[in-house]
């Protein structure tokens, strides 16, 4: 049989995602500006950060803002966090009205306060309960419903294959598998073997996640697991180019050149302007601090300029710090 083309579209229920390079949901990160930049770089599917069902239902204003979707972002999956079928179905209806193309259910979040509520990875630990939630959401909306799971709860409690089978029976249209157990949080290497096991066990598309950081690693994940798409998380922090680079590698098998320091600073400045436009100068500036540090991470002198970025009082001041950092970078060392 022919080796499958690595950059083919992925059908998730009724949604045809144009390519198999997805941006992982990340709380505090994957807001409108981040998602628009990711799409600009060719990312096939973006996700919102996880949204609590209760916060959506009770009209928490921050959550309402988080579920705003702009035209450039489609197709977009809106991720929900919760543990009870009724409220999750209700929240799914709300985000569908807000424009979600796909409703994703979080079954992997390891945070203690989430787990204490029986949500995220705690719900994934109980396949029967997880399937009940997914089934209720599938019945509630006329959009594809997907789930994001972990390898399991702990090394002694690995359940991804059983969970995936139950979710498929409950009607999910795709399953993203993060190859770490809950007790690992985000440390240690992701186990790609379990992604392959899930792929072999279900018919719906499987999205591999964990440690895909560039073209070669993304292609290796697809080769080793047979997954239908790769989902990239931390490698995209301050690095929206990763999506274009992975796509290019999947298409032609060659690594694309990394962005120059000028491109990194210019992108950081654009990101800053976009985040200020969406969230205002006060919250925008605060939220931009971490992004700005990520954009310049690894450049000569970045550590020193980082503390200045953290204390900038206005967006203009932050942009000025970024620009003068670039000037310093391009000045000969002895000047």
Catalytic residue set: 109
Shortest distance in whole angstroms from residue 56 CB to ligand FMN: 14
Q: Residues touching ligand FMN: how many (CB under 6 A)?
A: 23
d(CA 299, CA 142): 47
Residue from 186, 251, 300, 303 touching ligand FMN (CB under 6 A): that is: 186
> Residue 68 in 3-state DSSP?
coil
Tell which positions 235-274 bind ligand FMN, by CB under 6 A: 235
Q: What is the DSSP code string of 115-165?
A: HHTT-THHHHT-HHHHHHHHHHHHHH-SS-EEEEEEEEEETTEE-HHHHHH
Q: Which one, 119 or 248, has the nearer CB to ligand FMN? A: 119
| Closest C-alpha to 7, from 17, 20, 24 | 20
Q: Give 41's contacts (C-beta < 8 A, 6+ positions apart).
A: 240, 241, 242, 243, 244
Q: Which one, 10 or 123, has the nearer CB to ligand FMN? A: 123
d(CA 61, CA 53): 13
Q: Which one, 198 or 326, has the nearer CB to ligand FMN? A: 198
Q: Which one, 215 or 233, has the nearer CB to ligand FMN? A: 233
| Closest C-alpha to 92, from 133, 150, 41, 39 | 133
Residue 185: alpha-carbon gap to chain centroid: 16
Query: Residue 232, interface with ligand FMN (CB under 6 A)?
Result: yes
Residue from 42, 44, 82, 108 touching ligand FMN (CB under 6 A): that is: 108
Tell which positions 15-74 bind ligand FMN, by CB under 6 A: 24-29, 49-50
Query: Residue 215, interface with ligand FMN (CB under 6 A)?
Result: no
Q: How far, CA to CA in Å, does 266 sit from each of 15, 109, 240, 262? A: 33, 33, 12, 6
Q: Which stretch binds ligand FMN (CB under 6 A): 8-16, 38-46, 205-213, 253-261?
A: 205-213
Q: Which one, 234 or 308, has the nearer CB to ligand FMN? A: 234
Residue from 11, 234, 308, 323 touching ligand FMN (CB under 6 A): that is: 234
Residue from 52, 79, 184, 239 touching ligand FMN (CB under 6 A): that is: 79
d(CA 115, CA 122): 5
Residue 155, number of CB atoms within 10 A of its CB: 11
Query: Residue 210, interface with ligand FMN (CB under 6 A)?
Result: yes
Query: Residue 111, interface with ligand FMN (CB under 6 A)?
Result: no
Query: Residue 178, interface with ligand FMN (CB under 6 A)?
Result: yes
Q: How far, CA to CA in Å, does 215 sit from each of 102, 226, 245? A: 26, 16, 6
Site string for ligand FMN, 283-312 (x = CB under 6 A): ------------------------------
d(CA 269, CA 73): 20
Q: Which one, 27 or 299, has the nearer CB to ligand FMN? A: 27
Shortest distance in whole angstroms from residue 5 CB to ligand FMN: 23
Q: Which one, 306 or 323, has the nearer CB to ligand FMN? A: 306
Residue owning tokens 């310049």: 296
Shortest distance in whole angstroms from residue 169 CB to ligand FMN: 22
Residues that bind ligand FMN (CB under 6 A): 24-29, 49-50, 79, 106, 108-109, 148, 178, 186, 209-212, 232-235
């Amino acid at each position: 049989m022919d080796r499958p083309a690595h950059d083919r579209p992925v059908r998730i229920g009724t949604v045809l995602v144009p390519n198999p390079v997805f941006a992982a949901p990340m709380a505090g990160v994957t807001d409108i500006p981040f998602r628009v930049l990711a799409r600009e770089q060719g990312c096939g599917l973006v996700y919102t950060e996880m949204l609590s069902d209760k916060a959506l239902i009770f009209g928490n204003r921050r959550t309402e803002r988080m579920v705003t979707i702009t035209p450039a972002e489609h197709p977009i999956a809106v991720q929900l966090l919760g543990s009870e079928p009724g409220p999750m179905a209700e929240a799914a209806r709300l985000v569908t009205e807000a424009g979600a193309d796909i409703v994703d259910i979080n079954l992997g979040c390891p945070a203690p306060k989430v787990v204490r509520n029986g949500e995220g990875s705690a719900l994934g630990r109980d396949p029967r309960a997880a399937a009940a939630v997914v089934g209720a959401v599938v019945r509630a909306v006329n959009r594809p419903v997907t789930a994001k799971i972990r390898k399991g709860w702990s090394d002694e409690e690995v359940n991804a294959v059983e969970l995936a089978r139950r979710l498929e029976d409950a009607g999910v249209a795709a399953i993203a598998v993060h190859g770490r157990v809950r007790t690992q949080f985000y440390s240690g290497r992701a186990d790609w073997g379990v992604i392959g096991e899930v792929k072999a066990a279900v018919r719906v598309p499987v999205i591999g996640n964990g440690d895909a950081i560039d073209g070669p690693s993304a292609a290796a994940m697809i080769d080793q697991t047979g997954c239908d798409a790769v989902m990239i998380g931390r490698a995209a922090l301050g690095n929206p180019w990763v999506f274009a680079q992975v796509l290019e590698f999947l298409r032609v098998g060659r690594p694309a050149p990394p962005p120059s320091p000028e491109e990194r600073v210019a992108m950081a400045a654009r990101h800053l302007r976009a985040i200020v436009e969406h969230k205002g100068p006060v919250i925008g500036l605060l939220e931009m601090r971490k992004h700005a540090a990520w954009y310049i991470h690894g450049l000569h002198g970045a550590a020193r300029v980082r503390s200045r970025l953290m204390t900038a009082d206005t967006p203009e001041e932050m942009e000025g710090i970024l620009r003068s950092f670039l000037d310093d970078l391009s000045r000969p060392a002895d000047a």
